[in-house]
Amino acid sequence: MKVQLAKVAGFCMGVRRAMDMALEASQNAQPPVYTFGPLIHNPSALSLLRARGVEVLKEIPEKGKGTVIIRAHGVLPEEKKRLKAAGFSVIDATCPRVVRVQMVVRRYARKGYQCVLIGDKGHPEVIGILGYAEGRGILVSAEEDIESLPELDRYIIVAQTTQDQERYEVWSRKILSRYPGGKVFHTICNSTYRRQSEVRRLASETDVVVVVGGKQSANTRRLAEIVAECGKLAMAVETEEELDRERLSGFRHVGVTAGASTPNWIINRVVREIEALPGALDSIRRQVAYRFVRFLYESNLWTALAGGALAWSAMIIDKANVPSFFAVAMAFCYIFAMHTLNLFMDQEAGEYNDPLRAKFLSRHKAIFYTSSMLAVFVSLGIAWYLSMASFLWLMAISALGILYTVPVIPGPRRIRALKNLPGSKTFFIALAWASVAVLLPLTGFISCLRPMHWILFILGAVLVYMRSVLLEVLDVQGDRIVGRETLAILIGEKKAVNLVGLLSVILGVVSVILPALGIVPWRFASFLPVSLWMLGLSCLFSGRRIGQNLRLEFMVDTSFFLLLAGAVILDALL
């Protein structure tokens, strides 16, 4: 089945900001921590906050203690004052777009203007905005409300930030035609506008559109309404459990969109579940191929094969008299074991970053745990066969890999494990892969490593580093939830992707300049096509990625097979 994900889906800026502030407060703010009303309209996200000790405060007591986070929709100005007067420490997580509407309304209300607000009756954002109108606010929530408007002289028209753009324009013109002279402000969030435009395009290209989001979310309901207006079936779900699988199997092309308060991990689950369904015209061959690819991905075999490809490439590029079988087998076994065991020991992050892989490994835990331990012993056995130095080195790296998620560092609670060291994940993975795939086989057969070997090690480590950074960008939301400070979180997703682009250019230039200067053989130019591939991926990752983890992770790890192909071709030509 063909599944097409909307280019704009999932957390908008305001919701992401509110969630980040709430998660930060759950760890560092004065307890107990509350949100005044639901922070956002999504049950899964609210359950996550409850699990982090953040409860919902429904009424403002006369006296209270702790921290209260004001929801993304905003509140009445009087309520904010009452919270502070009650003794709470207040964190304002109101979306900046909503704050802008509130300030426009307050400014013109103080000038004596009436405010006509087009929005949903009873919605928290609407209630909050009207509170800034100082008694001069009028709500228009249906077209018939326009007919019952009182006489308007000096007035402004604003919209709830999640309103439908087309409807807002039509209703504004009707109000202006009845009472000329009003000032219209374009207060609909740009993210909302792009999301709505995208869902119209999606509805025109697909047979059915699945809309993912909380049932109380106004912008999610609006997306479903737009799909229906386009004459297509809209299937609204909160999670993958609500999918009508039998009905979806009757379609060939399914579109997926999501509200602004829908977490990435929920979208990923829905997309993956739909992709696994047999489509109306899907062949048995296609279904088998998809299941096989998904198995390689979820079992970590594809990642382990990528490590083996790196080892094989290194042996070809170096022209070392090392049996390639031993190098490939050692790298494959080690990488498979370490990645699988760390997923078992860090299940919390896996539940958010890649829930289907976590579910798959949990369901077959006995098999994969046993095979991982066996792979550890096989890799150690090969290292022992190569040399004592290789064996001791691999023992040290393996211990470091196993201890990565274990609290072993004394000091502050938040950095008790190596995984909590800011930006450590990318560095340790690059060091481990390059050591096992490049240096250990050479150490076993070459008495003295030459500068060329260290250059090969560095180039391999840079390639693995770029791989890890891109995958961290995919996992940024889940890592943020569990409090992991990855490079993508420390410097931001955009800067992390730009870093990969910069390293790709450097890798490509170095892979050509060093052979041209005679420092290394021309086989090192095998890194040039890989650098171009990673540069292209960095451009791809700068766009929307939600729901495409399976596809994108395969593309990232394919870089190592591209390196192998380049090494084989250059070796044959030279």
- Which residues in the chain come in under a pLDDT of 70? 279-283, 320-323, 348, 350, 401-422, 444-448, 477, 481-484, 543-549
Does 464 map to a domain?
Answer: yes
Please report which helix (H) or strand (E) contains residue 407, including its range: none
On whether both 401 and 482 belong to a single domain, the answer is yes
Phi, psi of 495 (to 5 degrees): -65, -35
pLDDT at 444: 67
Q: 106: closest CA among 65, 82, 141, 77?
A: 77
- Which residues does residue 4 pair with via DSSP β-bridges, in sequence order? 255
Q: What is the pLDDT of residue 373?
A: 93
H-run or E-run covering 280: none
> What is the full DSSP assignment across 159-200?
E-TTS-HHHHHHHHHHHHHHSTTPEE---S-HHHHHHHHHHH
Give dist(CA 570, CA 560) in Å, integer: 15
Whole-angstrom distance, CA of residue 526 vs CA of residue 119: 59
pLDDT value of residue 218: 81
CB 475 within 8 A of CB 419: no
Do 320 and 248 share a domain, yes or no? Answer: no
- Confidence (pLDDT) at 105: 96
* pTM of the predicted model over 0.85: no
Q: Judge whether 3 lies within some domain.
A: no
Q: How many structural domains are present in the chain?
A: 4
The set of catalytic residues is 125
Query: Do 271 and 390 share a structural domain?
Result: no
Note the Cα 154 to chain centre separation in Å.
46
Q: Euclidean distance between the first and final Cα of the chain, in Å?
A: 45
Give the residue carrying structure tokens 């207006």: 229
Number of alpha carbons in the 13 Å side-chain half-sphere of residue 220: 24
Q: Do 248 and 345 lie in a common domain?
A: no
State whether 23 and 171 are in the same domain. Answer: no
Domain shared by 413 and 519, yes or no: yes
Domain assignment present for 259: yes
Domain at 32, CATH number: 3.40.50.11270
- Structural domain boundaries, residue 14: 10-94
Long-range CB pairs of 420-423 (<8 Å, 24+ gap) are: 420/483, 420/484, 420/485, 421/485, 422/485, 422/490, 423/485, 423/486, 423/487, 423/490
CB 474 within 8 A of CB 414: no
pLDDT in tens, 283-295: 677 778 878 888 8
- Say what the pLDDT of residue 523 is: 93
- Whether 271 and 153 share a structural domain: no
pLDDT tens, residue by residue, 457-495: 999 999 999 999 998 887 776 777 666 677 887 888 889
- What mean pLDDT value characterizes the chain? 86
User: Are both 396 and 519 inside the same structural domain?
Assistant: yes
pLDDT (0 to 100) of residue 303: 93
475 and 421 assigned to the same domain: yes
Query: What is the CATH number for 182?
Result: 3.40.1010.20
Q: How many angstroms separate the CA atoms of 174 and 167, rounded? A: 11
Looking at the domain assignment, is residue 299 inside a domain? yes
**Distances in whole angstroms, Cα of residue 314 to Cα of each of 136, 310, 458, 547:** 73, 6, 11, 34
User: In angstroms, rounded to a whole number, what is the distance separating the alpha carbons of residues 155 and 562?
Assistant: 64
Q: Note the pLDDT of residue 547.
A: 53
Q: CA dist 197 to 122, 133, 173, 325, Å?
A: 26, 30, 21, 54
The dihedrals phi and psi of 505, each to the nearest 5 degrees, come to -65, -45
